[in-house]
Amino acid sequence: MILAAALAHWSGWLLPVAVLLYLLIVIPIALLCGFWQAVIVSLSAVVVHGFFTGRQPQFNLASDPANSVTLVVFVLVALTVSRLSARVTDHAREAESRGGQMHDLYEFTRRTLQMNLHVEPGPQLAELVHEIFQLEAVAVFDADLHEVYQAGIWNEDPQELARNVYYFETSDDDPATGLGRRVVRLGTVPVGSLVMRGETSPLTNNAIASLIAITFDRYRAFANESRIETERRTEQLRATVLDSLAHAYKTPLTAIRAASTGLGEMGHLSAGQADLVALIDEQTGLLSDLTNRLLTTARLDAGEVAIHAAPVGVGSLIEEVVDSLRDRLASMKVSIDLQDDSLVVCCDRQLMVMLLTQYVDNACKYSIFGTTITIRVVHLNAEAIFSVHSYGPVIPRADRERIFNRYYRSMTHAGTRSNRAAGTGIGLSVAKRVAVIHGGYVWVTSDEIEGTTFFAAIPAPVLKRCT
């Protein structure tokens, strides 16, 4: 500052020119050091300039208005430059911080995409957030598995803390404690929560919670896909085993039936022997029917059954079903209600007989003695709707879809050990499959007052013509 004042004095510069020279010193000081340092330099410039111009340095600035104005200008310049410098520095630091956080978010995204989804993602996510963002402690709550996973050192219980965030849907940031709380959501549905202690911005916390939600969703989707594939392979193996067993049973069953028939035709049997032969013949028939049903089930599931569609009169179809179950229906009241006797359905007659036989046989097993079984066919909304109604045990609502799954039997229908109705849990699954391969669907309604009705709908294209 002294050199600048001496240079201005020896060069004979006027005060405005000297002021510009002093500003070249004040401005860098304000940029590099700050406001108060620039004020001290400004005051020094006024004093030194007064010394070299021959005036006695006095701290009473009012004695020379030029010095006062100069000092005010220097102070204003120092204030403006220091504020601008501080703002630019803050912006630079913020940009650098954001750049670092963006890099951390990119790394977190990359690591989550490479995560092993064969195991639960919670522990991996907690460790990744703690490691990548260098936080003191992290807790992740997976609401689907009801588990809290933690990383870092917690002074309080993170289990309760993370659960409270989820149940009370608390999302906030507390600068006093350094805690960031977020509800992890998929869309608008809460699927977990995230609690962090450390230096992160609210936007970063939101991004971390969103990435955790996406990872949870990927894990669920992967688990479902794996489960579906496992079930498909299991079902394929089961169908193969059923087909093999059914084929293996047919030969000995044929031999047993032939032997029992031969014994019956030989004659000269006592009453007890004849009853035993009749029992053998009856049970062999049941085993044969079951074997044929198993074969059909396996072929339906494997897609090996070809539909031989042809126009079939509904009336004759119902008559064939009732005739095949004449012995079972001998002690039952049966009502047949056809909306249109001339209605023709384009279908595979053998498969449709199998479907309706299962419905009527099911009604025979569970209907209350003395009540009426009603077989009805209506043409509604371009569909032929077959229904079999009876009065018996009510099927619980939770079972009304599951009873069409193979081997599943409703507890209401299965009964106790002493009064359990005969059945394998296969028939209704075959009925459903038959309807599906015709392009139709099945359902059941059950009520204590209205009774139970099984439905099968065949769509309009099957009704109009066969291709």
- pLDDT by position in tens, the chain (length 467): 555 555 544 454 444 545 555 555 666 666 666 656 656 665 566 555 555 555 444 444 444 455 555 555 555 665 666 666 666 666 666 656 565 677 888 888 888 888 888 888 999 999 999 999 889 999 999 998 889 999 999 888 889 999 999 999 889 998 888 899 999 998 888 999 999 998 888 888 999 999 999 999 888 888 877 777 776 676 666 666 666 666 676 778 778 878 878 877 777 778 888 888 888 887 887 777 777 766 666 666 656 566 788 888 899 999 999 998 888 888 889 999 998 888 888 888 888 998 999 999 999 988 988 899 999 999 888 789 999 999 999 999 888 888 888 767 666 554 433 344 555 567 788 889 889 988 899 999 999 899 999 999 988 555 544 55
Q: How far is 210 from 446, CA to CA, in rounded Å?
A: 45
Of 359, 453, 454, 366, give the one whose Cα is nearest residue 413: 366
State how beta strands 372-380 and 333-338 pair: parallel
All residues at 6 or more sequence positions from 152 whose CB lies less than 8 Å from its CB, including other chains: 130, 135, 136, 137, 138, 197
Q: Which CATH superfamily is domain 310-464 in?
A: Histidine kinase-like ATPase, C-terminal domain (3.30.565.10)
Do 458 and 438 meet the contact criterion of CB atoms below 8 Å apart? yes
Q: What angle do CA 463, 346, 373 make, to 5 degrees?
A: 85
- The domain made up of 118-226 has a fold known as Beta-Lactamase (3.30.450)
pTM: 0.45
Query: What is the reported pLDDT for 60?
Result: 44
The two most distant CA atoms of the chain are separated, in Å, by: 157
What pLDDT sits at residue 337?
93
Distances (CA, A) of 38 to 23, 41, 60: 10, 5, 20
Task: Determine the straight-line distance between the first and last CA of the chain, rounded to whole angstroms.
Answer: 105
Say if CB 221 and CB 227 are below 8 A apart.
Answer: no
> Between the CA atoms of 240, 241, 242 and 248, what dihedral angle is there, to the nearest 10 degrees?
110
Do the bridges between strand 383-390 and strand 451-458 make them parallel or antiparallel, or are there none, so unpaired? antiparallel
- Tokens for 433, please give them: 């499959």
Check residue 100 and give its pLDDT.
60
25-30: long-range pairs with CB below 8 Å, 24+: 25/1, 26/74, 26/77, 26/78, 26/81, 27/77, 27/78, 27/81, 29/78, 30/77, 30/78, 30/79, 30/81, 30/82, 30/85
Asked whether the beta carbons of 139 and 155 are under 8 A apart, the reply is: no
Per-domain boundaries in the chain: 2-98, 118-226, 233-302, 310-464
